[in-house]
A and B are shown apart, each in its own frame.
Chain A
Amino acid sequence: MEVKYRKSQGLTDKKLSYCPGCTHGIVHKLVAESLEELGVLGKSVGVASVGCSVFSYEFFNCDMQQAPHGRACAEATGIKRVLPNNVVFTYQGDGDLASIGIAETIHAANRGENITVIFINNAIYGMTGGQMAPTTLEGQRTTTSQDGRNHLIHGNPIKISEIFSQIEGAAYVERVSVYNPKQLMKAKKAIKKAFTYQVEKRGFTLIEVLSSCPVNWGMTPPDALKWIEEKMTPVFPMGVFKDSGEAHE
Chain B
Amino acid sequence: MAKVLMKGNEAIALAALKGGIDAFFGYPITPQNEIPEYLSKHLLAAGKVFVQAESEVAAINMVYGAAGAGARVMTSSSSPGIALKQEGISYIAGAELPCVIVSVMRGGPGLGGIQPSQADYYQATRGGGNGDYQLIVYAPETIQETIDTLKESFDIADYYRNPVLILVDGLIGQMMESVDFDKPIRKRFIPEKDYATTGTDHHPGRNIVNSHYLNPDELEQHNLHLQKKYQQIKNNETKFEMINMEQPDYVIVAYGTMSRIARSAIEMLEEQGIHVGMIRPITLWPYPRAAFDQIPKSCKGILCAEMSMGQMLDDVLISDRGRHDVAFFGRVGGIVPEPEEIVDAILHFQERVVK
B65 to A74, Cβ gap below 8 A? Answer: yes
B197 to A65, Cβ gap below 8 A? Answer: yes
B133 to chain A, nearest CB (A): 14
Contacts of B231 in A (CB 8 A): none
A139 to B22 alpha-carbon distance, docked (Å):
50
Q: Does B49 contact A (CB under 8 A)?
A: yes
B40 to chain A, nearest CB (A): 14
A188 to chain B, nearest CB (A): 23
Residues A18-44 near B (CB distance < 8 A):
41-44
Name A54's closest neighbour in chain B (CB-CB).
B212
Q: Does B71 contact A (CB under 8 A)?
A: yes
Contacts of A83 in B (CB 8 A): 69, 198-199
Of B23, B62, B95, B202, the residue contacting A74 (CB under 8 A) is B62
Q: Does B70 contact A (CB under 8 A)?
A: yes
**0 or 1 for each of B284-316: is its CB under 8 Å from A? (1 = yes):** 000000000000000000000000000000000
Number of A-B contacts (CB under 8 A): 132
Q: Does B105 contact A (CB under 8 A)?
A: no
B200 to A67, Cβ gap below 8 A? Answer: no
- Evaluate whether A74 and B58 lie within 8 angstroms (CB atoms) in the complex, with A63-B207, A83-B69 already known: yes
With most chain A CB atoms within 10 A of its CB, the pick from B54, B91, B199, B207 is: B199
Residues B54-96 near A (CB distance < 8 A):
54-55, 57-59, 61-71, 73, 87-88, 91, 95
B198 to A78, Cβ gap below 8 A? Answer: no
Q: Does A170 contact B (CB under 8 A)?
A: no
A68 to B61, Cβ gap below 8 A? Answer: yes
Name A50's closest neighbour in chain B (CB-CB).
B212
A81 to B197, Cβ gap below 8 A? Answer: no
Contacts of A47 in B (CB 8 A): 65
Interface size grouping (class) on chain A:
20 to 34
A126 to chain B, nearest CB (A): 16
Name B23's closest neighbour in chain A (CB-CB).
A82
Name A42's closest neighbour in chain B (CB-CB).
B201
- Evaluate whether A77 and B65 lie within 8 angstroms (CB atoms) in the complex, with A42-B200, A42-B201, A66-B211 already known: yes
A110 to B70 alpha-carbon distance, docked (Å):
25
A4 to chain B, nearest CB (A): 27
Q: Does A173 contact B (CB under 8 A)?
A: no
Residues B81-140 near A (CB distance < 8 A):
87-88, 91, 95
B91 to chain A, nearest CB (A): 5
A58 to B61 alpha-carbon distance, docked (Å):
21
B199 to A107, Cβ gap below 8 A? Answer: no
Interface size grouping (class) on chain B:
35 or more
**0 or 1 for each of A59-80: is its CB under 8 Å from B? (1 = yes):** 0011111111001001111111
Of A42, A44, A58, A71, the residue contacting B57 (CB under 8 A) is A71
With most chain B CB atoms within 10 A of its CB, the pick from A66, A71, A79 is: A79
B73 to A78, Cβ gap below 8 A? Answer: yes
Q: Does B51 contact A (CB under 8 A)?
A: yes
A41 to B202 alpha-carbon distance, docked (Å):
12
A79 to B87, Cβ gap below 8 A? Answer: no
A78 to B55, Cβ gap below 8 A? Answer: no
A77 to B53 alpha-carbon distance, docked (Å):
10
Q: Does B221 contact A (CB under 8 A)?
A: no
Q: Does A45 contact B (CB under 8 A)?
A: yes
B210 to A78, Cβ gap below 8 A? Answer: no
Name A71's closest neighbour in chain B (CB-CB).
B61
Contacts of B73 in A (CB 8 A): 78, 82
A66 to B66, Cβ gap below 8 A? Answer: no
B71 to A64, Cβ gap below 8 A? Answer: no
Q: Does A122 contact B (CB under 8 A)?
A: no
**0 or 1 for each of B18-55: is its CB under 8 Å from A? (1 = yes):** 00001101000000000000000000000001010111
B57 to A79, Cβ gap below 8 A? Answer: no
B69 to A79, Cβ gap below 8 A? Answer: yes
| 18 additional contacts (CB under 8 A) given A43-B201, A63-B198 | A43-B202, A45-B198, A61-B200, A62-B200, A64-B208, A64-B209, A65-B208, A74-B58, A78-B67, A81-B49, A82-B49, A82-B70, A83-B69, A86-B69, A86-B198, A104-B61, A107-B54, A107-B58
Q: List 25 A-B contacts (CB under 8 A).
A: A41-B200, A45-B197, A45-B198, A57-B210, A58-B208, A61-B206, A63-B200, A64-B207, A64-B208, A65-B64, A65-B68, A66-B208, A74-B62, A74-B65, A76-B65, A77-B62, A77-B65, A78-B25, A78-B62, A78-B73, A81-B23, A81-B49, A103-B55, A104-B57, A104-B61
A residues engaging B (CB < 8 A)? 12, 41-45, 47, 54, 57-58, 61-68, 71, 74-83, 86, 103-104, 107, 111
B residues engaging A (CB < 8 A)? 22-23, 25, 49, 51, 53-55, 57-59, 61-71, 73, 87-88, 91, 95, 197-202, 206-212
Can you list the 3 inter-chain pairs with the closest CB atoms, starting with the nearest? Answer: A78-B65, A42-B201, A74-B61
